[in-house]
Structures are given as C-alpha cells and as structure tokens.
Structure 1
C-alpha cells in the first residue's frame, strides 16, 4: 500500500539524523517504528483484555492478600 507521510521539519530532521546514524534509509526507519508501535499497542490491548476478564475471578483472593500485608 502506498502512503504519504507528512512530517514537520523537526520530525524530518530527527528521522534523517537517526537514519544516517544507523546507515539506513529514512523509509526503513519509519517502517520499523510503525511496526514497533503497532506491536507494542497490540500487546498492551491484549494484556488489558486478559486483565479485564481474569481479575474479577481473583478479586476476593487479591483483597484478602491486601488485608494480610497491612
């Protein structure tokens, strides 16, 4: 899929600097950043979903543990 990415001058300069430091293209660095962003947020959403589904099941035990430590 073809996409145009508009960056501010500061963003473009930062991307160019990072790409130069890594001897990579700006496109390669930007694509990796998008992959990492999607992966990290997908993981966080999955963790939130699991916690929402499983925490109520253990709520009473967690409450008791909290009372023991005080």
Structure 2
C-alpha cells in the first residue's frame, strides 16, 4: 500500500541519519522504525498487563503515576 509521509526538515534529517546509520534507504528506515516502535508498545503493554495481574497494588500505583504526569 502506498502512503505519502510528510516530514519537517528536521524530521527528514533525522530519517536520513537513521537510514545512513542502518545502511538502508529512508523508506526502509521508516518501516523499521514503525515496526520497532509497534513491537515495543505491544511488548510494554503485555508486560504492564501481566504486572497488573501479578503484583498486588500495581494498578493503583500505575494510576497514581499517570495522574502525576503533566
């Protein structure tokens, strides 16, 4: 599926640097970054859910931390 990605000059520079560091195209670097971010979010969510189920009081502590964030 085709998609247009609109980036600021700074974001484009960051993507260029990422692609250079990976030795890949900017398109491949963007795809890798998306997959990595999604993977971390899913894994983090699974760990958080497990912790809420296993650690007593974890859900209440997590709620207080979320409320304290700006």
Query: TM-score under structure 1 normalisation?
Result: 0.69
- In structure 1, what is the equivalent of residue 7 of structure 2? 7
Relative contact order (alpha carbons < 8 A, sep ≥ 6): 1 or 2 greater? 1
Q: Deviations over 1:11-67 (max 9, x none)?
A: 1012123323433100000100001000001010001100111112xxxxxxxxxxx
Structure 2 residue runs of 5 or longer lacking an equivalent are 57-70
Q: Highest Rg: 1 or 2? A: 1
- In structure 1, what is the equivalent of residue 35 of structure 2? 35
In 2, Cα distance between equivalents of 1:22 and 1:52: 37
Aligned positions, number:
56
Q: Secondary structure at the match of 1:7?
A: coil
In 1, Cα distance between equivalents of 2:37 and 2:24: 19
1:26 matches 2:26: yes
Structure 1 residue runs of 5 or longer lacking an equivalent are 57-70
